Amino acid sequence: MKTKLKVFRAMRDLTQEALANEIGVTRQTVIAIEKGKYNPSLELAFKLARYFDTSIEDVFIYESE
């Protein structure tokens, strides 16, 4: 799954570490999500969308296989 997480972080001038602390995950989790190596749980996806005051669809781009 592709993500615009890095773009949203940049708009708020957040480091991966700062975002991780805000949403309660590790920096490695944020890195993995940004690289597309980890698909977050629905709960984490909602948490990220709420944090950036947007929809899940704005943060994550679903690609069918």
Q: Which pLDDT score is estimated for 56?
A: 95
Which tokens in the block code for residue 32?
């993995």
Q: Which pLDDT score is estimated for 14?
A: 97
- Identity of the residue numbered 32: A
Instruction: Tell me which residue range forms the domain holding 37.
Output: 2-61
Quote the pTM value.
Answer: 0.89
**What's the average pLDDT block by block, 10 residues per block, for the chain (65 residues)?**
94 97 97 95 96 96 76
Q: Which pLDDT score is estimated for 63?
A: 75
Q: Which pLDDT score is estimated for 62?
A: 80
Q: Which pLDDT score is estimated for 50?
A: 97
* Overall number of domains in the chain: 1
CATH code at 42?
1.10.260.40
* Residue environment code for 16-50, b if the CB has 16+ CB neighbours within 10 A, otherwise e: beebbeeeebeeebbbebbeeebebeeebbebbbe
**Is residue 10 exposed (0-12), middle (13-18) or buried (19+ Cβ within 10 Å)?**
exposed
